[in-house]
A and B are shown apart, each in its own frame.
Chain A
Amino acid sequence: MNNVPESGIAELEARLRQAAAEGSSQPLGEPLGDWRHRLLKHQVRYQHAPYLILLNPGAPSMIELLAYDQDDEHFLAALYHHLLGREADPEGQLYYLQEAQQFGRLFVLLNMLNTEPASAYLNEQKVQISPRLHRLANLHKKANRMKWCNRLWQKLLPKWERCWQHRFTHHAEFRRAIALQRSQAMRQHLLIDAVAELDQRQMQLQQCQQQMLTRHQGIGQQLAHLHRQQAQPAGAPVNDASSLEQQDDAPGMTSTINGQLDAYYLAFEDTFRGEESTISAHLERYRSVWVSARQAGDRALDLGCGRGEWLRMLTQAGYQACGIDLNSTMVAHCQEQGFNVTHQDALAALRAQPDNSHALITGFHIAEHLPFSVLFELVGEAYRVLAPGGRLVLETPNPENLIVASYSFYHDLTHRNPLTPVTLEFLYQFHGYAPVEIKRFNPPPEETRIPEETPTAERLNHMLCAPMDYAVIGVKAPMKVAV
């Protein structure tokens, strides 16, 4: 407490400012609620030392002080506490314990009561000692003065005490029981106060929470409104309801749009790739391929089968032809014609096939739609799936024709990059196809040629009038027959 030397007021001020800056002192707690202080005091006082409890803390009775319901140590500890307001020092404890054993507890009580510090403490604390005990203490004092009298007193007093000891014990137990019961009742009372106050605080906190929540919701609404405003193009009227509906219907919208896109692609194919019959005429040029592949088996798979022209030709050629396409309209169109077509992704379809199971795998105008990693894997997977002697055919626009490379390739907005014949050929070879053959088809009409025989014209014609499509045909090497 007073362990701080006062070394100048300037230093004191500096230390206080420091203490304030550190904020080291903890608040004593909420000033509300008297119960808190009393409950803690109560707990500290009686929880650890139930032998200290008194029926009336301001007026301990002789029976309570003699404490015959407790052993000598506790009797002495309580006596120190009630009469001197402190704990026993080892020396004093030893002295009084011996005295108690020799002359009885009453003797010790009267001795201590007659000491200077005890009367000072009792006076200061305004503790009342019963008149009977006072008289006894005075008698004790007088007896001490005369030697012969003292001897007699020292004999009589313990005897008298022993006579009553039984009764003292009962009374002490009784009083302590009542005191404990009262203390419990008091504690219960304090606890009820505490619970009531905590309940009230809980309610206040709930209110605070409610207010915060309301605020929070308000901010959320405001934020959503701002987002909506931002999403609207400048100048367009903000219509909360409609934009919300749009958001809600987003999945439905996507499916509708997908359906429309499929229909668009079907129409696009009709317009730009020609009628089904024209295509059939084109596919006729692969006759040599399907005829030679037929030796490796009768199963064929067409990736991106479209309207099914190729499937028809293969079926007529005796193949068990299957097709896959990602366009549901195309798939439905093929299924209507009785072809075995599923709505599937090309790579997934290949992965699902067993090794060495197909004689012919084809992909007309799909390679230019695929990212390179997918194309790479597709060519590899096809090799696995093909039976030895089987063939992979991939047809794609030919960028050797400048018009195709710079213009018509981009009619189809789902095309990625033009693929050069050399690249594709290398890709086949890399995966083990041999031999690999390139077929070029569909040169532009003759009249588009520059009708001159000069080297310049020839060069230009070479670039502008090259065939517009090409195909790479790779053969999976037939198994070598051991000789």
Chain B
Amino acid sequence: MKILLTANQTPFIAGGADHHVQGVLKALCHHGYQVELMRLPFHYGEQHIIHQMRYVEQLNVQNPNDVSVDRVISLQFPAYGVAHPEHVVWLMHQHRACYELFDPATASPAQAELKAQVEAFDNRHLRQAKKCFANSARVAERLKHYNQLNAEPLYHPPYQAERFTCADDWGYIFYPSRLEPLKRQALLIEAMHYTRTPVSLLLAGEGSQYESLAALIEQHGLQDRVRLLGYCNENEKQALYAHSLAVAFPAFDEDYGYITLEAMLAAKPVITCTDSGGPTAFVEPGQTGWIVPPEAQALADAMDAAYANRKKAQQWGQEGRIHYQQQHISWNRVVEKLMGAFEGKMAS
């Protein structure tokens, strides 16, 4: 059976999306399907995006070069605009600039125009698909909210899930993420200012906010308790997870958020915020972590609570690992679900 897998390509920008795309490809191959990955170049900018939407709609994916393609699985915008009678979408996320990140107050006319076009594009093509899965509960929720479309959340494991391990906690909170405003490291640093226990904070990752975060640490005199680690390789990341007391993930409106799952795999409790999106679907407050309002004081309290009762933090971490296991998140299940969707239009 010939399956065409469509996704985007953004040269030299690697990230979670790449792991996701390669993961699906590998899993389908493992299950004996004949799969080709078709990556279409993606470029930001209103004009580019409109052009890319039109291009995708005209693509022949049913019979390219007289080779008949049996099924198509699409993962990203705008690649899901291809037309095929046997088409299943597993939506990583929509074009966020036109939805939850769209602000009518500051949007330019071009952006407003794009928003209308993207909405129409999504409504048209996502409805035509035989079945629509979402990368996470949050992505499904947005689809329902903005496009009145039903999508079933389908989870996949993080990169090298089997390598995560738990070791003695060394009394610090860990937050690995790109240093960008939406990830809200600044909020966490501010929270450190309010903590009453000697808990420390390690921030791994690079990004545009490095300078300003360093300044903020200095401003609050937290040099002895907060550290920007910069880039960390996979081994370092594993060790940092393994020895942490708890993992913080206070980002704004995440789609899925590997960090939650990675923390659970390392048997660490998670501190996240009510508006963090994806993570809130996995964290059970009072059992596997804390879901607090996105405020410095609330985050400080959670970090203090973890430090003050480290035995409890450990227990919650173990609960988290069990919770992860109960979700049955695996590539096998992903393939089962995706391929099952072709068998008939299932009620979602």
Which A residues fall within an 8 A CB radius of B? 1-4, 6, 8-10, 12-13, 15-17, 19-21, 23, 25-34, 37, 200, 204, 207
Please, which residue of chain A has its CB at the minimum distance from the CB of B236?
A: A20
Are A6 and B171 in contact, CB atoms less than 8 angstroms apart?
Answer: yes
Are A33 and B325 in contact, CB atoms less than 8 angstroms apart?
Answer: yes
Neighbouring B residues of A13 by C-beta, 8 Å: 202, 227, 229
Neighbouring B residues of A207 by C-beta, 8 Å: 30, 32
Are A28 and B164 in contact, CB atoms less than 8 angstroms apart?
Answer: yes
Closest chain-B Cβ to A202's Cβ sits at a distance in Å of: 13
> Is B330's beta carbon under 8 Å from chain A?
yes
Binds A, one of B15-23, B58-66, B239-247, B337-345: B239-247
Neighbouring B residues of A27 by C-beta, 8 Å: 162-165
> Is B314's beta carbon under 8 Å from chain A?
yes
Neighbouring B residues of A15 by C-beta, 8 Å: 170
Are B235 and A200 in contact, CB atoms less than 8 angstroms apart?
Answer: no
Neighbouring A residues of B157 by C-beta, 8 Å: 31
> Is B166's beta carbon under 8 Å from chain A?
yes
Chain B interface SS verdict (over half): mixed
A6→B225 CA distance, assembly (Å): 10
Q: A4-B171, A28-B165, A30-B162 are in contact. List 9 more A-B contacts (CB 8 A).
A: A2-B169, A4-B170, A6-B198, A9-B225, A19-B243, A25-B165, A25-B167, A28-B164, A37-B325
A127→B163 CA distance, assembly (Å): 36
Closest chain-B Cβ to A25's Cβ sits at a distance in Å of: 5
Neighbouring A residues of B233 by C-beta, 8 Å: 20
Q: A1 and B243 in contact (CB under 8 A), knowing A30-B162, A204-B30?
A: no
Are B267 and A28 in contact, CB atoms less than 8 angstroms apart?
Answer: yes
Please, which residue of chain A has its CB at the minimum distance from the CB of B237?
A: A20
> Is B80's beta carbon under 8 Å from chain A?
no
Which residues in window 211-269 of B have CB below 8 A to A? 223-227, 229, 232-233, 235-240, 242-243, 265-267
Neighbouring A residues of B267 by C-beta, 8 Å: 28
Q: A31 and B325 in contact (CB under 8 A), knowing A2-B171, A26-B165?
A: yes
Neighbouring A residues of B242 by C-beta, 8 Å: 19, 25
Which B residues fall within an 8 A CB radius of A? 30, 32, 157, 161-172, 198, 200, 202, 223-227, 229, 232-233, 235-240, 242-243, 265-267, 310-311, 314, 321-322, 324-326, 328-330, 332
A439→B215 CA distance, assembly (Å): 113
Neighbouring B residues of A1 by C-beta, 8 Å: 168-169, 310-311, 314
Of B170, B236, B329, which one neighbours A12 at CB under 8 angstroms? B170
Are A20 and B240 in contact, CB atoms less than 8 angstroms apart?
Answer: yes
Q: Which 6 A-B pairs have the closest CB atoms?
A: A20-B239, A20-B236, A34-B325, A19-B239, A20-B235, A25-B165
Query: B198, B226, B229, B325 — which one has the most chain A CB atoms within 10 A of its CB?
Result: B325
A105→B127 CA distance, assembly (Å): 70
Closest chain-A Cβ to B253's Cβ sits at a distance in Å of: 26
Subset of 8 A-B contacts with CB under 8 Å: A3-B168, A10-B227, A13-B229, A19-B167, A21-B235, A28-B165, A30-B162, A37-B325
Are B310 and A31 in contact, CB atoms less than 8 angstroms apart?
Answer: no
Are B235 and A23 in contact, CB atoms less than 8 angstroms apart?
Answer: yes
Of B169, B224, B238, B325, which one neighbours A9 at CB under 8 angstroms? B224
Of A8, A31, A37, which one neighbours B164 at CB under 8 angstroms? A31
Neighbouring A residues of B167 by C-beta, 8 Å: 19, 25
Neighbouring A residues of B166 by C-beta, 8 Å: 25, 28
Q: A12 and B239 in contact (CB under 8 A), knowing A1-B168, A31-B265, A34-B322?
A: no
Closest chain-A Cβ to B46's Cβ sits at a distance in Å of: 42
Query: B162, B229, B267 — which one has the most chain A CB atoms within 10 A of its CB?
Result: B162
Are B332 and A200 in contact, CB atoms less than 8 angstroms apart?
Answer: yes
Query: A13, A25, A30, A34 — which one has the most chain B CB atoms within 10 A of its CB?
Result: A25
Closest chain-B Cβ to A23's Cβ sits at a distance in Å of: 6
Please, which residue of chain A has its CB at the minimum distance from the CB of B32?
A: A207
Closest chain-B Cβ to A120's Cβ sits at a distance in Å of: 14
Neighbouring B residues of A21 by C-beta, 8 Å: 235
Are B168 and A4 in contact, CB atoms less than 8 angstroms apart?
Answer: yes
Neighbouring A residues of B229 by C-beta, 8 Å: 13
Closest chain-B Cβ to A15's Cβ sits at a distance in Å of: 7
Are A34 and B326 in contact, CB atoms less than 8 angstroms apart?
Answer: yes
Please, which residue of chain A has its CB at the minimum distance from the CB of B234?
A: A20
Are A37 and B321 in contact, CB atoms less than 8 angstroms apart?
Answer: yes
A30→B330 CA distance, assembly (Å): 11
A458→B268 CA distance, assembly (Å): 112
Are B162 and A31 in contact, CB atoms less than 8 angstroms apart?
Answer: yes
Are A9 and B243 in contact, CB atoms less than 8 angstroms apart?
Answer: no
Neighbouring B residues of A33 by C-beta, 8 Å: 325
A32→B327 CA distance, assembly (Å): 10
Neighbouring B residues of A9 by C-beta, 8 Å: 172, 200, 202, 223-227
Of B162, B168, B236, B322, which one neighbours A17 at CB under 8 angstroms? B236
A103→B108 CA distance, assembly (Å): 86
